[in-house]
Amino acid sequence: MYHTWMRYFTPGPVHHRLGLVCLGVGLQHGTLPAVGPRTLDHHVAVVISAGTGWFRGPDGPRRPVAAPALLWLTPGVPHHYAPDPCWDESFVDFTGAATASYTELGYIDPDHPVVPLSDTATARAAIGRIVRAARHGNPYLEVETAAAVHELLVALRRARADTGSDPVLAALARDACQPLSVTEHAARHGMTPAELRTAVRRGAGCGPKDYLLGIRLGRAKELLIGTELPIAAVARRVGYDDPAYFSRLFTRRVGTAPARFRAQQGQAVPGGFTDRVPDPDHPPTIRSHSATDGRSP
């Protein structure tokens, strides 16, 4: 015996231009029939919350699957799987141009179709949003489900059993604004540059240079908006001794020069500047009128 519920969608051309669309969602549990062998033209994330089974890829032996786990079904790749004897699964079918970027960043991993997870709670919550959006007559169906697929991919990346508190990434983030090369960062961790690249790509989905640059430019934006420091001082604060190089790098990556970025953001943010940049880990609390003047909401 098994129980199953599923819905399938057909997003239009405009929705496909969102970059990611949901094609279907399903919830199943029990002694389910085997799936395949078959080949699909889109992606499917199969989240196994309880139970055991097996998975077989192209020309490979059966691999055991034990919950919590994720099965990646990717376009053009034959697959065959089933519970043994039963399991609890939820699945989401999706497609779109954004899948290429998610794959490059490591959120979708076609080379590892069976992924152990630490838990499935956050993934199931994202799938639950798709299920609720799938009610008949929902005018926001395609956009709500597309947004939930993005959320699902992030939740699955966080839930991978090989992902946890990464001391290398934490140290890189802490030291990102120091004027150190990738080689020097690697030496601090007793690693070769190649080993550091592998570790950062596994944990963050990008190379060390991009990881450090993202943190540096984020900090530079905060300083440009939150202080009146000269551009050269901002450059030094985020690890660049050459302000001209910093300005070129900022312009290329952000799309506008530092001075123009400051002017645009300064015009858009009410209240002017302060000389203290808020700590991103401890954001200030925005008080409501009722908290300041005693009025009820």
C-beta of residue 81 within 8 angstroms of C-beta of residue 34: yes
Q: DSSP E strands: which ranges in 101-161?
A: 114-116
Which pLDDT band holds residue 196 (cuts at 50, 70, 90)? confident
pLDDT of 276: 56
In this predicted structure, the answer to whether residue 269 has a pLDDT above a threshold of 50 is: no
If one compares 142 and 137, the residue with the highest pLDDT of the two is 142
User: Which pLDDT band, with edges at 50, 70 and 90, does 163 fall under?
Assistant: low
β-partners of residue 63 are 55
At residue 24, the 3 state secondary structure works out as strand
pLDDT of residue 37: 92
Are 98 and 42 contacting, i.e. CB atoms less than 8 angstroms apart? no
CA distances, 286 to each of 27, 75, 208, 227, 290 (Å): 40, 46, 35, 20, 12
Q: What pLDDT, on the 0 to 100 scale, is given for residue 24? A: 95
pLDDT cut 70: percent of the chain above it: 87
Listed residue (88, 79, 87, 86) closest to 55, CA to CA: 79
| Tokens, residue 115 | 């992924």
Q: Judge whether 68 and 124 are in contact, CB under 8 Å.
A: no
Rounded Cα gap, residues 116 and 127, in angstroms: 18
pTM of the model: 0.74
Q: In whole angstroms, what is the distance from residue 271 CA to residue 229 CA?
A: 18
Task: Report yes or no: 235 and 243 within 8 Å, Cβ to Cβ.
Answer: yes
Residue 226: pLDDT band with limits 50, 70, 90: confident
- Domains of the chain are 2-159 (2.60.120.280), 169-268 (1.10.10.60)
pLDDT of 84 > 70? The answer is yes
Look at residue 145 and tell me whether its pLDDT is greater than 90: yes
